Amino acid sequence: MKNKRLIWQLPFLALLIVGTVLIIMHQRSMPYRVSSGLIFGTTYHITYQCDSDLSASIHRELTSVDDALSPFNEHSIITAVNNNRPTVLNDMFRDVFQRAAEISKDTEGAFDITVAPLVNAWGFGFKSGQHPTPQQVDSLRSLVGWQKVTIKGGRVVKQQSGTMLDCSAIAKGYGADVVARLLRSRGVDNYMVEIGGEVVTRGVNAQRLPWRIGVTKPSEDAQTSEGELQTVLNVTDKAMATSGNYRNFYYKDGKRYAHTIDPKTGYPVEHSLLSATVLAGDCATADAYATSFMVMGIERAKAVLQRHPELMAYFIYSGDGGKLCVWASPSLKDKIEE
């Protein structure tokens, strides 16, 4: 009886083996494609393994995000909100607004999508050599605060009409998530989505190896630092975002600081953190926390990481004598390629 049963099972086993081999052969012969272009005022590069070209669908998804969240798009929802014009909020805008509010609360306001007026004032000031006056900072601070904007009755309600939203520190990550979701819905198992340095990966690259993403080394010299990496991370089935003013520093009392503005004080931060890379389950989250950590500094950022074991971080900071030093989450260390 056992031999008879085995004989009947053999054809099914052979069929299963042949089917598996054919699937593997088909997958290995399937081409990797590249879609690239401009969006959100930056570039995007998307590599994915698929029988068909999805460039048009990818561009449509990114355009939808731009139409919701780009302050440089005069027809976007966020532009209408900033200009106090009546507008209908869509799911994308509501999703990002809600996620931003959650992270603002979790980071005690280190992440704040209303901080743009202060960032712009200091950015122009650093370039011109004329820093904003204390009076100008106080005036702008009165407009800044994530709790000063809410969504009620399907519209954004501001405490002050002059408050403006800028989702730049989360929109690129969100856009990468949107494209990754599209690719998964089309059955794509291997891809790397990169928008302005924010990355989502899945599966393996064309060499059947894990996706490897570089972390740029902060440097004052734009000529010598171009393309110079601090480290390379093996990143698969994760999202990764980096925040840091790599070649934009200011000096005070002989110390080097990054051009990061604290939404609470209205002034540049004064701590040693120069670059924050965060790995998370989705890129919008990684993007927002990377920005938050640049505001908070290493010690406060570590406290947040203690509360969120699902997050991993790689920090580059200025040590004694201005030497570049690094700190990494223990759970990240097996992903670091020295």
Q: pLDDT per residue over 45-62, tens digit each?
A: 999 999 999 999 999 999
- The fraction of the chain above a pLDDT of 90, given in percent, is 69
pLDDT of residue 5 exceeding 80, the answer is no
pLDDT of residue 231 exceeding 80, the answer is yes
Q: Which residue has the higher pLDDT, 245 or 282?
A: 282
Q: What is the 3-state secondary structure (H, E, C) of 160-199?
A: CCCCCCCCHHHHHHHHHHHHHHHHHHCCCCCEEEEECCEE
Residue-averaged pLDDT of the chain: 87
Q: pLDDT per residue over 8-49, tens digit each?
A: 555 554 454 544 443 444 455 699 999 999 998 899 999 999
Name residues whose C-beta falls within 8 Å of residue 198's C-beta, 6 or more positions apart in sequence.
172, 173, 175, 176, 239, 240, 241, 242, 283, 286, 287
Instruction: Please tell me the predicted confidence (pLDDT) of residue 216.
Output: 87
Q: Are 41 and 72 in contact (CB under 8 A)?
A: yes
Is residue 242 very low, low, confident or very high in pLDDT (cuts 50, 70, 90)?
Answer: very high
Task: Give 152's strand partners.
Answer: 155
CB neighbour class for 38 (10 Å; exposed up to 12, middle 13-18, buried from 19):
exposed
Instruction: Please tell me the predicted confidence (pLDDT) of residue 181.
Output: 98
pLDDT of residue 251 exceeding 70, the answer is no
Is residue 272 very low, low, confident or very high in pLDDT (cuts 50, 70, 90)?
Answer: confident
pLDDT of residue 7 exceeding 90, the answer is no
Q: Nearest CA to 165 among 101, 254, 230, 235?
A: 101
Find the mean pLDDT for residues 169-194. Answer: 97
Q: pLDDT per residue over 111-126, tens digit each?
A: 999 998 998 888 755 5
pLDDT of residue 227 exceeding 80, the answer is no
> Hey, is 208 helix, strand or coil?
coil
Question: CA neighbours within 13 Å on the CB side: how many for 48?
Answer: 25
Instruction: Please tell me the predicted confidence (pLDDT) of residue 224.
Output: 46
Instruction: Please tell me the predicted confidence (pLDDT) of residue 333.
Output: 85
Q: Nearest CA to 114 among 261, 318, 290?
A: 261
Domains annotated for the chain, with CATH where assigned, are: 210-338 (3.10.520.10)
Find the mean pLDDT for residues 175-180. Answer: 98
pLDDT of residue 188 exceeding 80, the answer is yes
Q: How many angstroms separate the Cα of 40 from the Cα of each of 1, 56, 103, 255, 332?
A: 68, 17, 22, 33, 30
> pTM (2 decimals)?
0.87
Instruction: Please tell me the predicted confidence (pLDDT) of residue 104.
Output: 98
Q: Nearest CA to 190 among 21, 46, 334?
A: 46
Find the mean pLDDT for residues 180-193. Answer: 98
